[in-house]
Structure 1
Amino acid sequence: MNTIDIRTVNVVQYLNPLREGGSLPAIVKADDGFLYVLKFRGAGQGKKALIAELLGGELARAIGLKIPELVFMNLDDSFSKTEPDEEIQDLLKFSVGLNLGLHFLSSAITYDPLVFEVDAMTASKIVLLDSIISNIDRTVKNTNLLYWNKELWVIDNGASFYFHHNWSTWENHLTRTFPLIKDHVLLKSAANLKEASTHITNTLNKDKIKEIISLIPEDWLENESDALSPNEIRAAYETYLNAKLNMIDELVKEAEDAR
């Protein structure tokens, strides 16, 4: 039984696109009255980016990091009909159905390592989580972190789990470390990696991982180009995450050496 409850809301108003990155997320209003950053299933990396966003976000939340609420968002076909911009029109058309939204943190500012200090434990947890989920996109160029209400918030995990773009070779990734951690924006601040690793392994047990993976909507796992069935894909994510947690000492050493 799931203890994580992800709400489903309906998009009632498309407000404006966020022209950062290639996927054109947008600020939208939902029928619960709140604003969300909507990630589209019809964008470049498609449903796999939404899966990475969902898994990365809920894993981060499980280990005590700050993450905006994630919601499933229903988008109907009425929005593409009234959108004048052709690129956005196509995106809306290809995204009819279930998408993913992050609660919009009004007036949040992008984390800048030269301006804000991060405590060593928070930095260490984020660095190790990004090693575990192979997140290639938390660098000085693109921090994917927000500063809001005097706290650091983790956003944009869609570039994680990049092995899932080619299921025929996914098992090759089970024993790999994550050398790209050397470019992580928080690496210098991550002085508590060993302590953070203990917290992570105590929290992310097999049941918790299974529960988070069970949140993935079935139709996000259905791609004609994938060689695996939805159940096999769920099992692959589980195998991958458990393998990474079993080698967390190696990931700690790699990050410490990179520091």
Structure 2
Amino acid sequence: MLPEVTATRYVTPLREGGSLPGIVEADDLGTYVMKFTGAGQGRKTLVAEVICGTLAQRLGLRVPDLVRMQLDPVIGKAEPDEEVQELLKASGGLNLGMDFLPGALGFDPLAYEVGPREAGEVVWFDALVNNVDRSWRNPNMLVWHGDLWLIDHGATMIWHHNWPTAAASAAKPYDASDHALAPFGPDLASAAERLAPLVTEDLLARCAADVPDEWLEGEPGFDSTDAVRGAYTEVLAARARTIHERVTLGEPTRDRPSQAPGWLTGRLAPRREAGEVK
């Protein structure tokens, strides 16, 4: 189970995040990026963050540590932004915290070189979880103390938004042509050789076990939270076996419609029109 802390001070919102995460301090004296259950895309985003984040860590990839974070909305009373106030009011109780990396810089492919081995492992992992949000448009990677760190996995495992089609999703290919690390010659064969044997049902079950029951309860088509966890394990285990054979690395496209889910594109559209994101 993930460690649990309690938020003690709301510091500031992070405007670049589509779900409006915030920086908070907690009773363990740590500083975290909090992702809220009351955000527009709902609890499944947090489920994806937990499963993918803990899986990446167990595979040896760098992801900031995750915690369960209790929130009393009263800590944000001094926040003047009404949107933030409403988000806090809607998110009382258990939320997700990600360790804040002070001084980290957003990944810039012109300033940071990534070797083929590391690039291959990140692309392989993203193919496994079908991450549609690590493109050159929005890398969702940080450079901290000279190392590459992966963040923001809420737009992964799109199949869990429609469980009846999830089994078929295991066989779908992954187009990495626009992946932020595609220009670094990712060595997918080497990545698959090292990582695929590690993605066992036992490992996946341990990742799914880190998801709080309350984020899985009431899922249509399932009679228990353990059954939901089993569904995540089944799809990812099946996908891990051969996904490296179905990754496409072609020329990047700069004008095609986004493949991100509707809740994400909907949040980004007004900001894109205002020139805040590209």
> What is the TM-score with the length of structure 1 in the denominator?
0.91
1:8 is the counterpart of 2:4: yes
What residue identity is the alignment partner of 1:42?
Answer: G
1:49 is the counterpart of 2:45: yes
Q: Residue 247 of structure 1: SS of its match in structure 2?
A: helix
What residue identity is the alignment partner of 1:131?
Answer: A
Structure 1 residues 249 and 86 mapped into 2: Cα distance closer, same or farther (>3 Å)?
closer
What residue identity is the alignment partner of 1:227?
Answer: G
Deviation, 1:89, is 1.2
1:221 is the counterpart of 2:216: yes
Q: Residue 7 of structure 2: SS of its match in structure 1?
A: strand
Q: Which residue of 1 aligns with 2:227?
A: 232
- Mapping of 1:177-196 within 5 angstroms? 177-179=173-175, 181-196=176-191
Q: Which residue of 1 aligns with 2:69?
A: 73
Misfit runs of 4+, over 4 Å = 256-259
Note the aligned Cα RMSD (angstroms).
Answer: 1.8
Q: Which residue of 1 aligns with 2:202?
A: 207
Structure 1 residues 154 and 249 mapped into 2: Cα distance closer, same or farther (>3 Å)?
closer
Structure 1 residues 248 and 258 mapped into 2: Cα distance closer, same or farther (>3 Å)?
farther
Name which of 11, 15, 19 aligns with 2:15.
19
Name which of 116, 119, 139 aligns with 2:115.
119
Q: Residue 96 of structure 2: SS of its match in structure 1?
A: strand
Q: Which residue of 2 aligns with 1:144?
A: 140
Q: Residue 197 of structure 1: SS of its match in structure 2?
A: helix
Partner Cα distance (1:13, 1:218) in 2: 26
Q: Which residue of 1 aligns with 2:85?
A: 89
> What is the TM-score with the length of structure 2 in the denominator?
0.85
Q: 78-87 or 20-29: which moved more?
A: 78-87
Deviation sequence 1:184-239 (CA, Å, 0-9, x none): 11022243211111111222222111111111100001246x33342322111011
Name which of 96, 101, 106 aligns with 1:110.
106
Structure 1 residues 158 and 38 mapped into 2: Cα distance closer, same or farther (>3 Å)?
same
Q: Residue 235 of structure 2: SS of its match in structure 1?
A: helix
Deviation, 1:21, is 3.1
Deviation sequence 1:22-59 (CA, Å, 0-9, x none): 20000000001111000111111111111111111111
Which ranges in structure 2 are unaligned for 5 or more consecutive residues?
Answer: 253-278
Q: Residue 59 of structure 1: SS of its match in structure 2?
A: helix
Deviation, 1:80, is 4.9
